[in-house]
Each structure stands twice: as C-alpha cells, then as structure tokens.
Amino acid sequence: MIYSLVGYYSLIIGLIIGLFLFYFSYKNFNNSNILNTKILSFSFLQLFFVVISFLCLIFSFIVSDFSNETVFNNSHTTKPLFYKISGTWGNHEGSLLLWLLVLTLFIFLFLVRTKNQPVKYKILTLVFQQIIIVGFFLFLILTSNPFNYIFPIPTEGLGLNPILQDPALAIHPPILYLGYVGSSIIFSSVLAATSLKIISTNWAIHIKKWILISWIFLTLGILIGSIWAYYELGWGGFWFWDPVENVSLMPWLALTTLLHCILVLEKKSILTSWVIILSIATFTLSMCGTFLVRSGILNSVHTFANDPERGLFILVFLFILIFLSILIFFFFHKDNDKKSFSFFWLSKETSILINNWFMMYFLSVVLIGTVYPIFLDVITSQKISVGPPFYHKLIIPFLIPFLLVMAIGPNLKWIKSQLEDKIYLISFLIISILLAFLVLKNFNQNILINTILISSALYLFFITLRDFFVNKYKNISQNIAHFGFSLLILSILFNNLFASEIITNLKVGEIFENSKTKIVFESVDQKKEQNYNAIIANFSISNPNGEEDRLSPELRIYNQPVIATSEADIKTTLMSDKFIVINLVQNQDFFNVRYQVKPFMLWIWLSVILISFGGIISFIKKRS
Amino acid sequence: MKFLRFFLIFILSFYFSNANAEENDKRNKITKNLRCLICQGQSVYDSDSEFANSLKIVVDKKLEEGLSEDQIYEYFKIKYGEWILYDPSLNKNTYILWLLPILIFLIGGAIIYKSFIVKK
C-alpha cells in the first residue's frame, strides 16, 4: 500500500524534474557553470526517484502487496522469492519502469563520465535524452501505471507465467534493456552533436565507448534469451526467426554496422551523414521493437502483455522522435564530406563499406521479413507467415562473400593497400575448401552449398587464428570478435548438419532401440516444489560403445496459474548436447519422447561470449 | 563478378538438392515449414500439440500417397490458407517481400561504387 503510494509519487516527481531540466537547460544554455551546479544534481535526483519507484515495485512484489494491480496480475504468495523479484520486470508495466530506470541511469552516467567535450554538447544531449525520458514517464503514468490500486484487496495473486519462472529469463530483460535503451544515449548524443556541428574524429572516439556498452549488453542479452529458448521452450532450437527475436536482432545489426562505420569516422572524419543516420536508426529500431512487442501486433511466443492503446502511444511518440531527428538532420547537418574523397578499391575503408553494405542488407531482410506480413494483413487482409526458410534463403548465400571479406578486410591498410602474403591467403583458402569437403563427403544433402559455406567460415577461422599469432595483440578486440563469429557460423552449421533425433512413444519400462541408440524408460518419480508439482521421468540412454547417460526430463504442473510445461533435460558436453523432452499424450498412458543429439551446442554459446569479449576488450583498452 | 558466380551456383544448388533425402527427412523438412496454427510461433515439427501431431500424420499419409513436397504445401495452403506456410511462395502478394531486400542490396552496392570507389 505505502510502497505503491511512494512509488507512484516518485514517478510524478521524476516527471516534474524532467520538465524542470528542460527549463534550466533552455534558460542557462550559454552559462557553462549550470551543468555542474544544477543540471547534474537534478539529473541525479531524477535517477534517485526512479530508483525509489523501482525499488517500491520490487518491495511490493516481495511482500506480495495485492492491492497493487501489477503485483496481483503477476505474482503469488507461493512463488519463491527469486521469482517474486524477477516478476517485477516480467510484465509490461514493470519492464517499462525498467526502461525508464536505464534511460535515466545512462544519461546520468553520460554526464558524469563525459569529459573533454563542450558543455553545450552535454547539455543538449541531456535535453534530447529528457525528451525520451519525459515521453516514457507520460507513457508509464498515463497508460501503464505500475502502481494501480485494486479495491477490495484480493487475498491472492494470479501468479506468474510459468515459462518466465526461470533463472535465465530473470536476468534476460535487464541485460537486453541495457543494450536496447543504451542506444538512446547514442541517439541523443548524435542529435546534440549534429545541432552543434561537432561531429568529428574527437566525437567519434568519445561516442564509440557508448556504442560498445550498448553493443556488449545487447549481444549478451540476445545470447541469454537464446539459451533460455533452447532449454525452456522445448523444441531444442535456439533461434526461430520469431518476430520478437528479430526485433532484438535488428538494433544489434544496426549497432554492429555503426561500430564498424565509426572506425572510419574516427580515423578520417568522413562518412558523417552515414554515422548520423545509423545512430538514429539504431534507437528507432529499439523503439520499434518495443512498439511491436507491446502492441500485441506480433504473433509470437514471447508476447506476454499487450494492449492496442499502448501501441498507439508508442507509435505516436516514435513518429515525433523520427520527425525531430529528420528535422535536425536536414537543418543542421551540412555535409562536409563534399571535399573530394574516394576510396581505393583495396583498402580498409572499402572493406568497412562492404561490411556496412552487407549488414544493411541483412538488416533489410530481417526488417522486411518481420513487418511485411503486418502490412500485407492491414492492406489486403491476407495473412502470410514468414519463417526460417525465407531468412535462410536470403541470408545464407550472402554470408559467403561476407565471411571472406571479414577475413581479408581487417588486414588491409587505410587509404591504399596491397594484398600481403598472397600465398598464405590462397593456401588457407585451399585448405579450407579441402577440409570442408572432407567433412562433408559422406553427406548427400546440399553438399555444394554446405561445402562453400563451411569453407568460407573455416577460411575466416584460419585467417583470424593466424592473425592472432602473427600480429601479436595488434587490434586484438577485432581479432577475437571476428574469430568468435567464424566459430559461431561453424558451430551453427555443424549443429544443423549433424544433429540427430528420435521421436517415439514410450510407456514406463519400455525400450526403444535402433542401430545407434538405446533408450530405456526406467521409472517415473514425483516431486513437489514451492511453485510446481512435477513428474520426473528417468531415462537411461546408451550407445553401442557402452556409454550410458541418465537423463530425467520433467513434466511440471505449475500452480498459479495452473499450466503444464515440459522441462527438457540436457546433458552438455564439450562436443555435443544430449537433449530429451517428454510430453503427455492426452487419454493415453504413454509419453511422447523426443531425444536429440546436438553437436557443438556449447560452442554456439561460447562463440557469442567470445564475440562480446572482443567488444569488452575494445571497451577497456586505452587508446595509444 | 566473382560474387555473382557464387550466387548463381548457390541458387542452382537449391534445385539439385534433396534428390535422395530419406522419407523421414522429407517429413521433418515439410513439418518444419508448417506453422502450428494453435501455437504461438512454433512450427508443426517443434510442437507437440494435438493439432501439430495430427498434421504430422497427415503429412505422412500424403507422402505415402506419393505426393511431392510442393503438392503437399499446396494441399495445406488450400485447406488452411497461406498463413500455415513458413516459406511464402513468390506471387503478387510477396514480390515486395522477396525482391525488396535484393533491390536494396543492389542499390546499396551501386551507391557505394559510384560515390566512393575509384578504379585506377
């Protein structure tokens, strides 16, 4: 009760401070002292009140205060403490409060950490960020107040969606949001810098750190979401090209493009317009993502709260932001790129441009694939599905040249370069093709395309590995990230090609046997936990070499709300994952058993960690 | 030009593939391309709902009857509408979907080539 009250008024105060900040910035724009005295303390206060508000919501969840509508809808007294807390952001209102928290946190950190930049630039960045913040305050207070009262007070809550009662999903939203919302600071800063015409190498060096922060968190956030989907959703896949997944991939693609593009700006002070457009696009895509997920337009596994009115608010807000950025771009940005410049065809600039070119293509595939069905539905009321085959057909062929350029590009010099060590480059290519062919020679499906694909990924793998030892830590962050990417593509390919699967129906005590695998359904146990009851099925799985694994998938029946879920049991080893999941077949006394062996699963996760590790190194590295 | 050749080879390989895939693989491939209509964003292959299971049986039956993959898709398309197919076919509704990304790629390449790269 008291928490809701405090939380709500903290939000109002935060909003008022936001409006105050506009006023101060406007009135004292030419007074450089204002920043350190008033503005910094006000933005700290704003952060403070948002934190208070967020803590209030968490406390409401912890003490199960069901007079609060959000708590009532998303919690239950029998939930373990951990899921009570994570329930805070496992719903629409709470997750938007988290958005707001990250928004205010980032601008405060930005003001504190940014040195050696003009004061006007910092103030203007704050103003643009406040436009977003105030927009979100209004959104929260007007359409999705997390502190709504219910009277009479219910004695019990409705509970939390069982698929959200999971450790990975407890940390997935905060990390993803740090990446998503982190891009807001890039947006505000680029608008400020454009207005003041200070986009230069100096600015590029400064903003690169912020791009990296966003990028690292977004990468890790997507990774955790993917791992969660892998073991929780029960189909054994980790990426389904689901609209909500795509929505997180799009800002990632834009950020990655920006990260490469900023390298050129950092060195040569060109491509400014392109950097501005990309920065604006990144945040717009994050906002679009929020709009698409929150409005309920998307048909997706992940949609757990939606409301058309909210969608409309975000849509209008989004248009205002886009309109504002276009206005600033056209009014203030004078393209100083006009001085004649051209890139030699074989140079680092060109290879980065090629990266941007392909990344934009991938982005357009994902974007069009995600939104086209919506438009078609609205215009012609025809429903079509765009699924994995579409993305695979349009992306995979383009991945081949992309991987090759990724291998060669980083070794090129600025301005004009020559291919050094041609013998190395060619011999590695031949080795890669031979290896790929050897691996696949007993494989009769799609052999040509798979050979080409695997050889180009292997090529990147070998070249980056060689660079690592030859270049002696020069450009190590890039090296590690590219190496991680080659590993990622290889693991995904091998994972797809060499996965095997058995689907069968078994009763307790029955045995399934084929030439490679023997599955014994040994027994069934019961388990009672605080938030669910479970049936545990014990399987013993052995192969002709005499190796035996015991796996125990579960069927869980969650209380509050009462929903049955299947929990896979996964045995992870370095080289492969063994994945088993059971399902109840209605009116039958047998279980549907699905057993999969998925090679290199662990390497998919590891390679993404490597990729983000590359980003982390680049972030902490001091400029020489 | 080299890239272009790569693409041609790749696209051709689509047509020559799958010739001797086993029945089971074929069924998996087909069910992966069908949307489980009662689930939230899952394919028939991935789902264990009753709807999905009954569709799997239908696919098996159609394969036994000797229908080709495309014929089976066509069958489902007529029965449930295009919504069920994850791999939208190229027709007047989907020209933009399939061709716009390629167009963007070509235009992007042209812009980069025209404005930045000078051959010496």
Phi-psi region of A552 (alpha: psi -120 to 50; beta: other; left: phi over 0): beta
Q: How far apart are CA A73 and CA A58, in angstroms?
A: 14
Q: How far apart are CA A211 and CA A415, in angstroms?
A: 25
Q: Which residues contact A264 (CB under 8 A, 6 or more apart)?
A: A270, A271, A349, A352
Chain B residues with CB-CB distance to A353 below 8 A: 112, 116
Say which of A365, A384, A396 has its CB closest to residue B101.
A365
CA distance A546 to chain B (A): 27
pLDDT at residue B17 in the model: 43
> What 3-state DSSP class applies to A512?
strand
Minimum Cα–Cα distance from A370: chain B residue? B97
Q: Which residues contact A319 (CB under 8 A, 6 or more apart)?
A: none
pLDDT tens, position by position, A39-54: 888 999 999 999 999 9
3-state secondary structure A344-410: ECCCHHHHHHHHHHHHHHHHHHHHHHHHHHHHHHHHHCCCCCCCHHHHHHHHHHHHHHHHHHHHHHH
Inter-chain touch A383–B41, beta carbons under 8 Å: no
CA distance B67 to chain A (A): 20
Low-confidence ranges of chain A (pLDDT < 70): 32, 34-36, 234, 294-308, 335-341, 444-445, 472-473, 623-624
Residue burial A47-70, b: 16+ Cβ < 10 Å; e: rest:
bbbbebbbbbbbbbbbebbbbbbb
Instruction: Report the sign of the C-alpha dihedral through residues A334, A338, A339, A345, in that order.
Output: positive
Low-confidence ranges of chain B (pLDDT < 70): 1-23, 40, 117-120
Say which of A303, A345, A387 has its CB closest to residue B87.
A387
Q: Do residues A269 and A333 touch, judged by C-beta distance below 8 A? A: no
Say which of B46, B82, B120 has its CB closest to residue A383.
B82
Inter-chain touch A369–B46, beta carbons under 8 Å: no
Quick one: A623 exposed, middle or buried, by C-beta within 10 A (0-12, 13-18, 19+)? exposed
CA dihedral B34, B38, B41, B45 (to 10 degrees): -40
Q: How many CB atoms lie within 10 A of CB A111?
A: 19
Inter-chain touch B88–A583, beta carbons under 8 Å: no
Quick one: B110 exposed, middle or buried, by C-beta within 10 A (0-12, 13-18, 19+)? exposed
Q: Which CATH class is domain B21-88?
A: mainly alpha
Q: How far apart are CA A498 and CA A351, in angstroms?
A: 33
Minimum Cα–Cα distance from A376: chain B residue? B93
Strands A548-551 and A532-542: antiparallel
Say which of A237, A344, A372 has its CB closest to residue B46.
A237
pLDDT at residue A557 in the model: 85
Chain A residues with CB-CB distance to B81 below 8 A: 383
Q: How far apart are CA A325 and CA A184, in angstroms?
A: 13
Chain A residues with CB-CB distance to B109 below 8 A: 357
CA distance B104 to chain A (A): 7
Chain A residues with CB-CB distance to B32 below 8 A: 388
pTM (predicted TM-score) = 0.90
Q: Which residues contact B89 (CB under 8 A, 6 or more apart)?
A: B73
Interface A–B counts its CB contacts (< 8 A) at 149
Chain B residues with CB-CB distance to A585 below 8 A: 53
Minimum Cα–Cα distance from B115: chain A residue? A342
Q: Which residues contact A59 (CB under 8 A, 6 or more apart)?
A: A3, A65
Rounded to 5 degrees, what angle do the CA atoms A99, A102, A108 make?
145
Inter-chain touch A397–B25, beta carbons under 8 Å: no
Inter-chain touch B97–A385, beta carbons under 8 Å: no
Tokens of A236: 């054994």
Q: Do residues A519 and A592 touch, judged by C-beta distance below 8 A? A: no
Tokens of A364: 């357009």
Say which of B9, B16, B101 has its CB closest to residue A364.
B101
Inter-chain touch B25–A349, beta carbons under 8 Å: no
The closest alpha carbon to A528, from A536, A540, A520, A539, belongs to A536
The closest alpha carbon to A499, from A596, A582, A396, belongs to A596
Chain A residues with CB-CB distance to B82 below 8 A: 382-385
| Alpha helices, DSSP H, located in A471-570 | 476-497
Minimum Cα–Cα distance from A301: chain B residue? B40
For chain A, what are the domain ranges?
A: 1-165, 167-399, 400-498, 504-602
The residue of A385, A433, A447 whose CB has the most chain B CBs within 10 angstroms, and thus the best one to mutate to test that interface, is A385
CA distance A259 to chain B (A): 18
Q: How many residues does chain A have?
A: 624
CA distance A358 to chain B (A): 7
Inter-chain touch A342–B118, beta carbons under 8 Å: yes
Inter-chain touch A401–B3, beta carbons under 8 Å: yes
Describe chain A by its helix, strand, coil percentages, rounded to 5: 65, 10, 25
Rg (CA), chain A: 26
Q: How far apart are CA A294 and CA A96, in angstroms?
A: 10
Through-space distance between the first and last CA atoms of chain A, rounded to whole angstroms: 55
Inter-chain touch A449–B25, beta carbons under 8 Å: no
The closest alpha carbon to A247, from A342, A335, A162, A374, belongs to A374
Q: Which residues contact A275 (CB under 8 A, 6 or more apart)?
A: A190, A199, A204, A258, A261, A262, A265
Quick one: B9 exposed, middle or buried, by C-beta within 10 A (0-12, 13-18, 19+)? middle
pLDDT at residue B16 in the model: 42
Chain B residues with CB-CB distance to A426 below 8 A: none
